Each structure stands twice: as C-alpha cells, then as structure tokens.
Amino acid sequence: MIDTQRLQEKCARQGIELTGIQLDQLNHYARLLVEYNQKVNLTAITDPEGIEDKHFLDSLLFASQPEVTGKMIDVGCGAGFPGLVTKIYKPELELTLMEPTGKRVEFLKYVCAELGLTGVEFAKERAEEAARKQWRETADVVSARAVAALQILAEYCLPLTRVGGVFIAMKGSGAEQELASAKGAIAKLGGSYRETRSFQLPGGDARSLVVCEKISQTPTVYPRNGGKIAKSPLK
C-alpha cells in the first residue's frame, strides 16, 4: 500500500527511527484505512504518499516529542491521527481515543484488533462532556489535530490534562495567529503556553506543535457546554 522504505527515509530526516514491525503496522493501517473509507467517510487523503506525509509523518512528528509519555488522550481523533500512530511508535503508552462518532469508533476498534494493539481505551464521547466524567484531569498528555481553533480547543483539552501534564495542539501555518487569540483562554483554564515547535512536511506544508503546560486545576465552571464554547470562546 504505502512505500515503507520511502516513509522510513522521510522519518529518518526528521530524526525519527521506525522498526520493521512498526513499518509493517503502518502499512497495514493504511490498507485498512483506504478499504474502510469506501463505506465510512474517514479521510479525503487516500493516495499512498499523501497518507505517508499528511497522516503518518505528521502524527510521528507529534509522537516523537519527549513529553508524549504515560497516559494520553487524543481528542476528536477521527480515523486515529495522531493517537493510533503514536501508539504504534510508543507501544507502552496508555491511550484513550476520544471520538463522538460511533462509526469512527468502530473503525478504531477494528484497526487495533487487526494490528494487535493493546492498552487502548475507546471513549465515544465529546471532550467537553468527558471532562465532567472520569477523564477529568487524568492525562499526562492531551492531543488534538485539526479539531477547532486554539482558543476553543483549549477548553476541550486542558480540563482533561492533569496538573503537571501537557496539552499539545497540532496546527498548520496559522498557529501564531491562533495563539495570540488563545493565551487568555489557556490561562483561565489552568494552562501556560510553553512554546511552538515548527516543522515542514515533504510537500512544503508547515506544521506546528503548540505546547501548553497545565500549571493549576481547571476551575469547575469549565468546560462549558459545546454550544457556548463555539458561540463565545474564552478570551
């Protein structure tokens, strides 16, 4: 399906090393994604090199960060990016895939079964509702990729992050503009902006990882319900 040697070389240029087993798992994952996508809308990217770059390498840039350890929640994970790729790269990770759409959750379960991945929890939940349940302030790292603007995303993700943990948002070229609007929200939710790490995919697309530390508990009034978050984002 994908060209595993080509992917390995692209990853090596970013300082990411993949084993033969991991490359085989990613190849199998790509095949399952394309097959399943014919009946359930999972991704618009189905060509091999597009999957390698925009799904796998993009996710591995996140997965290879030193903070990505312990217990991770991937918010709005869709078809499993970056969560499942991160689990393949770091099998010891305790992973919760949080996705409200049932058909996508079924796909995630299917992929984990096919690839033999264990230590994965499937939470068919909206993040703002999950943060009122057992997941609140439990994760060492919370990730989100292309879910919403950063000031909205912060209210979804920081309530799930434990004090001392990190929230890492995967963004494109507009990360700095989003950050300027989000710093107030991040602070209100118990977070502190640490840094933005910038990368470039082989096709030239810019990628940014916005890293926020959780320095104090999120006030109990947050998160608000989804409608309020979208209508009047925190400032």
Q: Which residues line the annotated binding site?
A: 76, 81, 99-101, 127-128, 145
Q: In what order do the strands lie in the sheet with 94-98?
A: 120-123, 94-98, 71-75, 139-145, 161-171, 206-214, 191-200
Which positions make up the binding site for S-adenosyl-L-methionine? 76, 81, 99-101, 127-128, 145
For 91, the token pair is: 């099998």
Nearest residue to 189 (alpha-carbon basis) of 153, 155, 164: 155
Phi-psi region of 113 (alpha: psi -120 to 50; beta: other; left: phi over 0): alpha
For 184, the token pair is: 């107030």
